[in-house]
Amino acid sequence: MTTIYLMRHGETDWNRQERMQGQMDCPLNENGRHQAAKAGKKLTDLGIRFDRVCSSPLCRAVETAQIISGRPEQEIITDPDIMEMGFGPFEGVFFVDMPAEMFTFFSDPERFPAPEGMETIPHLKERTGRFLDRLRTADPGGTMLVVAHGVALRVLLGHLMGPDWDRGWKMPLENCCIYRVVLQDGAFSFPEKVEADTRDPGKRVPLAAENAQTVLERIRRLDAARHPLIVAIDGRCGAGKTTLAAELAREAGYPVIHMDDYFPRPSQRTAERLATPGGNVDHERFLAEVLTPLREGKPACIRPYDCRTQQIGKPVAVPESPVIIVEGSYSCHPELWDNYDLHVFLDVDPRTQMERITERNGEKKAEEFRERWIPLEELYFAAEGIARRCELYLK
């Protein structure tokens, strides 16, 4: 019998900045090392000692394995089959800048293929399955630590859950989370989570996670007979709308639609239109292509507008789901308002807003936001009373 502890690595700077890492070799940050040390102490307090330690070859996983086990790097067995999924051209991209097809893929990877240039789910399943097959064949006995990554670990857990593969994919896996599996007579037990709070006791739960729970609780109180339920998350730029939507997608598996994909086309960007509250969005196309079909029970597609090429992209189907999230400024536009079941406004103070925009976009772009985009938003918020009208107001 072999007892296996599956873990995700500790935090990196890119985790904290909400950037796609994939197979980029990002090291742990100080908080990540603290998380690993705390998880290691938890396991030690439970009387757990490891006979073997295996890790992805990426340094953030190897260092986590070293801290947890107390072993030097040369004693860590590295296996490329449990490396993180390759995100290709999206490695290094901030979550807020991910294209719509990335969110669609992550919401239901069985139905929607990975965007071009990324590793595919069948390939990731195949290599993580090879890793489990080798363990099954060897069944070395004793206790083993395996350190992997968020997406790779989800797929490993999916394998171990059998018919419940989708459940494994949708599990929220925080840094340094731990799952225990027993291998006996060639069969793996169902994964069991080991509770080990690795957060800094002086830090609060991330605000996006708190806000996501608030939104989920309100969604549970909505009329489930209406299908799908559509939730709009509006609010000031830099408030964390995309981060909140991504948290809802991770927590509940809801697909996310981004209003940024409906930026006005060149012919629409007239002085007269932009002077109109809410004119800085192609609400006509969004209503026709997305909200109206959804409300009529018909298939809907997103056709994202690419600001660089000034072209409308290929259609991406909106996944079937009991709940669909629409995030972004102008999502609560008066022409769209009545199509939603819940309206959420996410606020941020001006100083924090500019700090976040500068960190995300740089000084030059931040100044453009200050002079151009923020005033248009504020005109819309004030004229339409969006914050006051929304059922949920969050900061």
Q: Write down the residue that tokens 């830090």 correspond to.
A: 203
Q: Alpha-carbon distance 37 to 158, whole Å?
A: 27
Q: Specify the 3-state DSSP secondary structure of 144.
A: strand
Fold of 207-394: Rossmann fold (3.40.50)
Q: So what's the pLDDT on residue 202?
A: 41
Q: Alpha-carbon distance 206 to 220, whole Å?
A: 22
Active site residues: 9, 84
- 150-171: b (≥16 Cβ within 10 Å) or e: bbbbbbbbbbbbeeebeebbbb
Q: Alpha-carbon distance 63 to 76, whole Å?
A: 9
Which pTM value belongs to this model? Answer: 0.58
Bridge partner residues of 327 (DSSP):
233, 258
Q: So what's the pLDDT on residue 198?
A: 54
Residue by residue, pLDDT tens for the chain (395 residues) are 899 999 999 999 999 888 899 999 999 999 999 999 999 998 998 889 999 999 999 999 999 999 999 999 999 999 999 999 999 999 998 887 778 778 778 877 877 888 999 999 999 999 999 999 999 988 788 999 999 999 999 999 999 987 767 677 777 788 999 999 999 888 999 888 887 655 544 444 456 778 888 899 899 888 767 789 999 999 998 898 988 998 888 888 889 999 999 999 989 889 898 888 999 999 999 999 999 999 999 989 999 888 778 888 888 888 888 999 999 999 999 999 999 999 999 998 888 888 888 887 788 888 888 888 888 899 999 999 999 899 999 98
Q: Alpha-carbon distance 141 to 291, whole Å?
A: 55
Residue among 85, 26, 80, 34 at smallest CA distance from 54: 80
**Both tokens of residue 113?**
């293929």
Select from 3.40.50.10490, 3.40.50.1240, 3.20.20.150, 3.30.590.10 the CATH code of 2-194. 3.40.50.1240
Q: So what's the pLDDT on residue 205?
A: 42
CATH 3.40.50.1240 domain locations along the chain: 2-194
Residue among 340, 313, 320 at smallest CA distance from 328: 340
Element (H, E) at 220: helix 207-220
| CB-based contact 286:336 (threshold 8 Å) | yes
Q: So what's the pLDDT on residue 230?
A: 95
Residue among 150, 171, 88, 157 at smallest CA distance from 129: 157
Q: Alpha-carbon distance 20 to 290, whole Å?
A: 27
Q: So what's the pLDDT on residue 82?
A: 97
Taking CB atoms within 8 Å and a gap of at least 24, the contacts of 213-217 are: 213/251, 214/392, 214/394, 215/244, 215/248, 215/342, 215/344, 215/392, 215/394, 216/248, 216/251, 216/252
